[in-house]
Every structure is written in C-alpha cells, then in structure tokens.
C-alpha cells in the first residue's frame, strides 16, 4: 500500500466528514516517509509505549482514534521523535470515526447484538449526539452488563436506576459523560445509556432521571471502531497485515 493509495482511500471512506472537520485537528498524517506500508498496527491511543511496541513488532504504520493531544503536555513531541527514530508513520482519525457508519458507536452497538441502529451518532451543536440501537427483544440490564464486560475485557461500572428490561440503547463511546447526552437518551426513550467516561454529575443526573447507565473505559469502548477501520483498509489493500497493539486497562479502578 503506497501513501497516495492510503490517502485516497481515506477520502473515499470518510468523504464529507473530512471536509466538516479540519486536518491536524480531528485527523492527521505524521511521518509518512516510506514508499510502501505493509504492516499496520492499530490502537485507540498513541503514546510513547505504543510507538515502541510498534517498533518491536516491525509495524510500518500506526492507525489510532486519538492523537497525542496537546493538553497531555510534552507527549506529542516525544511520540513524534520516536516515530522518526523508528521510521514509523502515524495516522489518527477522531470525530470522523465517531460519526461514520462503521465507526466507534455503531461497532460497539453491533457487537452488543442490536438488531438495528435507529440513530447514527453525529456532531450537533458542538457535541456528540447519541447513537441509538435496538434489540429485537428486551434483555435484563445484568445480561447487557455481562456482554459489555466480556467484550471490553475489563470491569465496568453500572447503575440500575429502574427495573425495566433493555430494548433501546443510547450511546456515546469515549467521553460521553455530559448530562445533555443523558437527557437526549431520556428524551429518545432509551432504557440505558452507555459511555466510556463518567463524572459525579453523570451519575447524579442518571439517578435523578431514573436512567440505567453502563460505563466502560474510554479506550476500550472505542477500540472496536479502530479495528473496523483497520479491517476496511485490509479489505481494500489485500497485501497489508493488520494487528492490534496492546493497551493497558489502566482507566479501570477497583
């Protein structure tokens, strides 16, 4: 897979979303210095540890959901130094991957077993509007918690705030901790809200409105969208190899 082919396919996959969001803010290319890329490693985050792991595994290109954001002071500069040292390229795709049909939200909904996606997550008034999925038949909250735990491979937080079984899920993967997103789930008649981060006010408001809530980690609620993206690349470029780079479950406590 040559660089020009990769760039062209990115624009084919994401289309208008790459116009709606700015390059080097919500997606970006870094250190593309090779003629050909055959071994692709994917992860939710890029960190110095991820770059070193990629180097050990002879990865030519790392694709991630997150960049090393500027507010994690100094980490971006160190990642770039390591990418250059080991001659590894990096591509990240943030909000466009949240809102594409094969992206973070829809990938997790489908793995949880929903029969249909009722509403696509999208950018609305400066924040991520919820995605909505439905099961054919309602299931107990505890069964959904069990599914989430198995999928994410980590302990998750949940709060049972009513006795309804779960048919309709509202979801924002990653940092969906806003009370506005919980309110959207309530107004959309969702039986549970699933996300990847919580604050005091997330939990407080969920209890106040009697909304069941399930919270996994930011990293592992979003990894399935990155995997789907990597698989899209492999479908297009048969000669590439993809592999998941290991990330720790350090967001989980208890």
pLDDT > 80? residue 253: no
Residues 146 and 124 in one domain: yes
Q: How far apart are the first and last CA of the chain?
A: 43
| Mean pLDDT, residues 74-84 taken together | 99
Same domain assignment for residues 72 and 171: no
Residue 251, domain member (yes or no):
no
pLDDT given at position 190:
99
Q: Is residue 252 part of a domain?
A: no
Q: Which domain holds residue 178?
A: 98-216
Radius of gyration over every alpha carbon of the chain, rounded to an integer in angstroms: 19
Identify the band that residue 223 occupies on the pLDDT scale cut at 50, 70 and 90. Answer: very high
Mean pLDDT, residues 111-140 taken together: 96
The reply to whether 62 and 119 lie within a common domain is: no
Q: Are residues 36 and 124 in the same domain?
A: no
- Per DSSP bridges, beta strands 212-215 and 241-244 are unpaired
pLDDT recorded at residue 125 = 85
Q: Is 254's pLDDT higher than 80?
A: no
CB-neighbour burial class of residue 114 (10 A; exposed 0-12, middle 13-18, buried 19+): buried
Domain count, the chain: 2
Closest CA to 140 of 148, 152, 128: 148
The fraction of the chain above a pLDDT of 70, given in percent, is 99
Q: If you count DSSP H runs as helices and E runs as strands, how many of each does the chain have, helices first?
A: 10, 13
Q: What is the CATH number of the domain that holds 69?
A: 3.40.1390.30
């Amino acid at each position: 897979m040559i660089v020009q082919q990769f760039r062209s396919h990115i624009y084919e996959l994401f289309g208008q979303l790459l116009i709606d969001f700015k390059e080097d803010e919500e997606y970006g290319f870094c250190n593309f210095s090779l003629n050909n890329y055959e071994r692709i490693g994917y992860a939710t985050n890029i960190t110095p540890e991820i770059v070193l792991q990629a180097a050990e595994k002879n990865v030519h290109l790392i694709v991630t959901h997150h960049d090393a954001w500027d507010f994690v002071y100094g980490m971006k500069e160190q990642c770039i130094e390591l990418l250059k040292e080991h001659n590894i390229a990096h591509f990240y795709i943030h909000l466009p991957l949240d809102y594409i049909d094969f992206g973070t939200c829809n990938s997790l909904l489908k793995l949880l077993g929903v029969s249909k996606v009722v509403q696509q997550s999208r950018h609305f008034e400066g924040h991520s509007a919820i995605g909505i999925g439905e099961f054919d038949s309602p299931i107990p909250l505890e069964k959904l918690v069990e599914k989430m735990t198995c999928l994410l491979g980590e302990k998750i937080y949940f709060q049972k705030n009513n006795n309804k079984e779960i048919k309709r899920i509202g979801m924002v993967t990653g940092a969906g901790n806003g009370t506005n997103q919980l309110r959207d789930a309530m107004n959309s008649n969702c039986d549970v809200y699933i996300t990847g981060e919580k604050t005091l006010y997330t939990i407080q408001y969920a209890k106040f409105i009697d909304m069941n809530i399930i919270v996994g980690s930011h990293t592992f609620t979003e990894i399935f969208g990155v995997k789907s993206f990597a698989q899209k690349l492999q479908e297009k470029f048969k000669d590439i190899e993809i592999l998941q780079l290991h990330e720790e479950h350090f967001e989980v406590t208890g």
